[in-house]
Every structure is written in C-alpha cells, then in structure tokens.
Chain A
C-alpha cells in the first residue's frame, strides 16, 4: 500500500521562502507530483519528479530523494496569491497512471 505524509497547515510571510515537505511509502515508485489547489477550485499541476534532485520552475522548485522517500516543494518570493493547499501525489510503479494523493498542506501567506 501507499502512505503519504505532509503537514496539515503552514503559515508564511509575503516575500519569504517556504518549504513544504512530503514523505511517502510505496511498494514501488514511478514519480512524484505536486499540485496547487485554491479554495473551491480544481487542483492544478505544478511539478513532476522521477529522478533524484531539484527541478526548478520559476518561483517554485521541487526536490526528490527516492532513497529517503522524501520530497519538498520550495516556494520563493511568496505572494498573497500563493495561499492555497499544496498536494503531494505519488504514482506507484505498479500503476500505469493513477496518482495517490496526500491530504494536502494548507499554506496561508500573511502580509
């Protein structure tokens, strides 16, 4: 089976940097995804990691360590619009496509 853990809530200040951690346990591993979900809206795709290391995409970066079952999402130069839930999701090696999502981390950005 799979188990994905991430903090329930985080608070950060506008302009700052925040790191949202995700740990996972799966019987296999075939990729890790991060999604952003604003309240009342659909999740939107942010990043995908399948190899170890850091993937940078503008203000957002995602890191993966497969040996540690660990990922983080790094958000730089926080803006008020970054207030949202951030969902970590893992694709099991045995799965051809479906993702298993964590419960999400609700990030509140304060002025």
Chain B
C-alpha cells in the first residue's frame, strides 16, 4: 500500500486477555520494526524483522510479548495476558533496508487495558 497500515486503530481490552496487533508495511519494504510509545516520550524499540527473519527481539519487555512476520510482509505483535502497564501506543515502521533509509511509521494502535 501507499503507507504503513496498522489495525486496529484503537483497542480496549480487559486485563488478562490476549491481543493481536497487525501491521501491513509499505510494499517492497524489507525491514519492519515494532515500537511502543508512551505519551510525551520517544518511541521505545521492541523488535524488528528483515524479510521474515526476526533479527532482534531484545526490546520485548517479557515473554508475554511476541511477534511474527511469516511471509515477510504483514506482521503481528501479540501480547498475552495483558496488564494495565501494557497500555500505550504501539507503532509499526518499515524501511527499504539498512543502512541509510529512514523509517516510515504507521498511525499506530492505541491499546488500553482496563
């Protein structure tokens, strides 16, 4: 597509439920990144993929968080047994590749855990 598309735009879930956040990157973009952004803060790195390979997951807060990109295009970030502290804006970004290309961010998914 023309831009990075994320769905849903907003998600309200009850504590303890699992959620899946979807990212559809720009067509042809090799690299896909997941970030989390709290209000008034910069994006915090979670994980990233080159094609379907997860290159770095060091930013995932704990083992409740996982991500996949099985066909090298669409990616899903899954949070199991959600907790209130997981509430944040989750942003996906994609780029043509390393080294010099800036990311294009999606509009994000606002997750609220109640």
Contacts and interface: CB of A to CB of B under 8 A. Distances in A.
Chain A contact residues: helix, strand, loop or mixed: loop
B91 interface: yes
Contact-residue bracket for chain B: 20 to 34
12 contacts: A30-B99, A33-B102, A42-B91, A44-B105, A50-B99, A87-B42, A89-B42, A95-B56, A98-B45, A99-B103, A101-B42, A106-B40
Contact of A45 (B33, B97, B103): B103
Interface of A: 4, 30-31, 33, 35, 41-45, 48, 50, 87, 89, 91, 95-104, 106
Given A35-B102, A96-B50, A98-B45, 13 more contacts: A31-B99, A31-B100, A41-B107, A42-B107, A44-B105, A89-B42, A97-B33, A97-B50, A97-B56, A98-B48, A101-B35, A101-B43, A103-B42
Interface of B: 31, 33, 35, 40-45, 48, 50, 55-56, 59, 91, 95, 97-100, 102-108
